Chain A
Amino acid sequence: MLAAVITVCAAVAPLEIPANGWDRAKQAQHLLSRAAFGPSAADRARVEELSVGGWLAEQLEPGRDDALEERIAADFPTLKLSVTEALVQFPKPVKGEEMRNEERPRQLVVELTQAKLLRAVKSRRQLEEVLVDFWFNHFNVSAEKNKVRWLVSPYERDAIRPFVLGRFRDLLGATARHPAMLVYLDNWMSVRDGLEVKALRRAMGLNENYARELLELHTLGVDAGYTQADVRAAARALTGWSLELKKRDDAWGGFLYRPRAHDTAEKNVFGLELAAGGQQDDGERLLDYLALHPKTARHLCFKLAQKFVSDAPPAELVDALAAEYLRTGGDLRAVYVLLFGSRAFWADEAFAAKTKTPLELVVSSVRAVGDLTTVQPQLVKAIDAMGQPLYRASPPTGFSELAPAWVSAGALVSRINFGLKLGKNEVPGVQVPLASLPEGEPELVVDALALRLLGAPLTEASRQTVLSQRDPRVIVGLLMGSPEFQKQ
């Protein structure tokens, strides 16, 4: 379909990929397992057409994907709502009053989750989807807390997605000002100590929550060496960053700076001097300082290397990425270019070294063997059951990137059962047409399927085990639930 073809911008030249002796199929398998949500037939073909370096270049400067965006706009109308519109159009249910499910505020999160899965399976801008997932998790908010339910969809759309291929400072600034973050980490109510608030008939004061996580999780990292005094000073610099609370206002729920709430005394945050008399710019200068701090560079680059290379990434890689981050003033695209062109990314040790998160497992399964016709609640529930309730990670650390968090006896049972269901075509909304499976002798079918799903032949022991089953649907289920398919 012509409309769905991506406009290729030529801004990024094909990346140079270090030679590592892998054949093209293995290179594509590795690349699409990390920079995409697993290999699909379409993306394999695209990599074949453009080469690995060309595919990466396209992903780093993706054009539009109009067909998908049109479908998402049609299927998930709440995704275009502003914060104010979401609050106005989805009022809190009144006790005792009948309300259809589609009118309830939770519908906002349901549609966001369904759109996320649709994009993860279908989007041609795969790297962007992987990065949106990564950076949302870095700047986690939970729909379960307070009013975040109304705010989380605009948050991903306006504060995360536009900046994942851009500058970190823009991501940091957008999340800091976004109502979802202001509510989730309480900064909207944090005011200078002793401020008398007439409406509440009492004095209010500082709340450290956002300031602490800003230093620990969003920027410097827990071991950077800042103190309790730095946390307090950072919180003071951000006092007054709040929300419009007037319901009749067109901007209800949007960002509002409250000068009266700001602590104007001088502050020192981890070496940054803020002179007395500052206003909203105190916070902006703090974000400037944190975004380009060497500790931030290391913290972010370590997390990126951990996400894309291995749970314990090589120190030289992290050093090189951090240096590039600082050299470019926090240009994330430059860091990705270095990362995906690095020897560490293409090393034998990195192949299939990561354990899939539940989201990655489910999406990569669907991309490998099926077609997603609609996103039904059962697909979301399957990811829940494996331990990853999307948009509902309650701690500010978000979901873990490390294997031990995802590999437990119970989680494996859920993964195995999902594979079996998928193979039997029993996951609503997902079609696994038997006609699409390879034909012929059982040995040939198993070998062809293993190559398609795992990118590598099965070990002889596993091959014999799989061959003991005759039903092709059970064979698909076994492969999807196999230990090999849990890795990427």
Chain B
Amino acid sequence: MNRRTLLLGGTSLLFGATPSKKALVVVFLRGGVDGLAMVPPREAELERLRPSLFDAAPLKLDGSFDLHPSMSALLPLLEQKRLGVLHAVGQLKPSRSHFDAQDFLESGRAGEKGADGWLNRVLPALPKGAFTAVAVQNGVPYALQGAEAVVAFPALRDFRVAAGPAASFEQLYASAVDEALKVRGAEAFSGIEAAKGLAALEPKNGAAYPKGQLGRRLQDVVRLVHGDVGLKVAVTELGGFDTHLGQKLALGARLKEVAESLAAFATDLGERLSDVCVLTVTEFGRTARENGTRGTDHGTASAMFALGGAVKGGRVGGEWPGLKAAQLFEGRDLRVTLDVRSVLAEALTAHLEVSSESALPGVKPARVLFG
């Protein structure tokens, strides 16, 4: 095989096509998002379960569900059917520990941890480049940890080293005894080279990012897409969803940031949005009942957004389990009717066009995103 076919990977070899520009972006909303507040079902039971959290004037999403009032920035994308919602989604082996539930989700092996994360195990099937897999955050999240090269940085504009000593540093890290430092060093220096100039790209199509971390980080993802640096997998995160107390205020601000960041991201991408599929995930949902302090405690199923690519949006997918006492999981949480891993598997097979078997072993891809 010559260098070109190597770079293009198996699919392109068969069809002789140009390399795919498809990319998958996973936004981890950490802390456990209250899906019942983000996308409330129009069900009388909800007001009885959470009298003080109940919102009388939500935004209408479809016949059966509403959207949190602070997420109005998403309405145009819903109308254009570029954005969809999946509900009652969660883990088949759930945990109410943040720590365990996040690890289980990121390992991709239901209820188990391991040496690497699900997204790293996708990488052998993808073309290799400095920016194939990127985490726009501090450190490599568990989902992307593993044998394959990934780059992580909190901001593109700080991802550079003064030219003079850079070559010396590159050599020092190339001969590092510590294997992890050697690998991360190589990733850093090839990334710095590939990223040159990208940090200065201005938003396109009049996109206006909100203040805050998520918008800044998604904007860097867009820069990598517009820069055509071979991005296939990007991950970023936002915390602050662990709303045990006074949920209304805290959650509203966070959801507004999510909505406005995603909307600006879509605008900035313009036509390239059909190449990029964004999924939001979270470790668990929250109790169906409000707790004693106008908040909610750790629960089970939540809701997620899917944006871009060939997502058939404008609707709430999944199977609604209901909120009556007998329908709740262990009498307290929204029940999981859709395995989050099957949704991730669908994104891998249908959007990135790679097998999901090594990333998510034994999981049958769902048909809820694009079907």
In the assembled complex, the Cα of A396 lies from the Cα of B140 at a distance in Å of 20
Would you call A408 and B175 a contact (CB within 8 A)?
no
User: A residues 222-257 with Cβ under 8 Å of B?
Assistant: 222, 228, 231
In the assembled complex, the Cα of A414 lies from the Cα of B298 at a distance in Å of 36
The answer to whether B160 has its CB under 8 Å from any CB of chain A is: yes
In the assembled complex, the Cα of A395 lies from the Cα of B182 at a distance in Å of 30
Minimum CB–CB distance for A393 against chain B, Å: 10
In the assembled complex, the Cα of A413 lies from the Cα of B161 at a distance in Å of 7
Would you call A483 and B178 a contact (CB within 8 A)?
yes
User: B residues 224-255 with Cβ under 8 Å of A?
Assistant: 239-240, 242, 244-245
Would you call A397 and B180 a contact (CB within 8 A)?
no
Residues of A near B298 (CB, < 8 A) are 208, 212
Minimum CB–CB distance for B214 against chain A, Å: 14
Given contacts A191-B292, A397-B99, A412-B181, contact A207 B153 (CB under 8 A): no
Would you call B97 and A216 a contact (CB within 8 A)?
yes
Given contacts A186-B245, A207-B292, A411-B139, contact A459 B175 (CB under 8 A): yes
Residue-wise, chain B 134-163 has the 8 Å CB interface mask toward A (1 for contact) of 010011101001000001111000111110
Given contacts A202-B52, A208-B297, contact A410 B153 (CB under 8 A): yes
In the assembled complex, the Cα of A469 lies from the Cα of B31 at a distance in Å of 47
Residue from the set A355, A412, A468, A469 with the largest chain B CB neighbour count within 10 Å: A412
Would you call B291 and A208 a contact (CB within 8 A)?
yes
Minimum CB–CB distance for A211 against chain B, Å: 10
Would you call B168 and A207 a contact (CB within 8 A)?
no
Would you call A228 and B184 a contact (CB within 8 A)?
no
Residues of A near B191 (CB, < 8 A) are 409
Residues of A near B140 (CB, < 8 A) are 404, 407-408
In the assembled complex, the Cα of A231 lies from the Cα of B298 at a distance in Å of 11
Residues of B near A409 (CB, < 8 A) are 151-153, 159, 184-185, 187-188, 191
Would you call A416 and B161 a contact (CB within 8 A)?
yes
- Give which listed residue, A222, A474, A483, contacts B172 with CB less than 8 A: A483
The answer to whether A307 has its CB under 8 Å from any CB of chain B is: no
Residues of B near A396 (CB, < 8 A) are 98
Would you call B293 and A204 a contact (CB within 8 A)?
yes
Closest to A215 in B: B97
Given contacts A459-B175, A465-B168, A487-B178, contact A410 B151 (CB under 8 A): yes
Given contacts A385-B158, A410-B159, contact A465 B291 (CB under 8 A): no
Residue-wise, chain B 90-104 has the 8 Å CB interface mask toward A (1 for contact) of 000000111110000
Residues of A near B154 (CB, < 8 A) are 385, 387, 410
Minimum CB–CB distance for B262 against chain A, Å: 21
Would you call B244 and A403 a contact (CB within 8 A)?
no
- Give which listed residue, A146, A394, A411, A416, contacts B239 with CB less than 8 A: A394
- Give which listed residue, B165, B182, B291, contacts A206 with CB less than 8 A: B291
Q: Size of chain B's interface in residues, with CB distance under 8 A?
A: 55
Would you call A207 and B160 a contact (CB within 8 A)?
no
Residue-wise, chain B 72-110 has the 8 Å CB interface mask toward A (1 for contact) of 000000000000000000000000111110000000000
Would you call B158 and A410 a contact (CB within 8 A)?
yes
Given contacts A209-B244, A465-B168, contact A412 B188 (CB under 8 A): yes
In the assembled complex, the Cα of A424 lies from the Cα of B161 at a distance in Å of 14
Minimum CB–CB distance for A380 against chain B, Å: 15
The answer to whether B365 has its CB under 8 Å from any CB of chain A is: no
The answer to whether B311 has its CB under 8 Å from any CB of chain A is: no
Q: List 12 A-B contacts (CB under 8 A).
A: A202-B52, A205-B291, A207-B292, A208-B244, A394-B240, A403-B180, A404-B145, A408-B140, A416-B169, A462-B175, A469-B168, A483-B177
- Per CB-CB distance, the 6 closest pairs between chain A and chain B, nearest first, are A205-B292, A410-B153, A387-B138, A483-B176, A408-B152, A409-B188
Chain B residues packing against A (C-beta within 8 Å): 30-31, 52, 96-100, 135, 138-140, 142, 145, 151-154, 158-162, 164-165, 168-169, 171-173, 175-178, 180-182, 184-185, 187-188, 191-192, 239-240, 242, 244-245, 291-293, 295, 297-298, 330
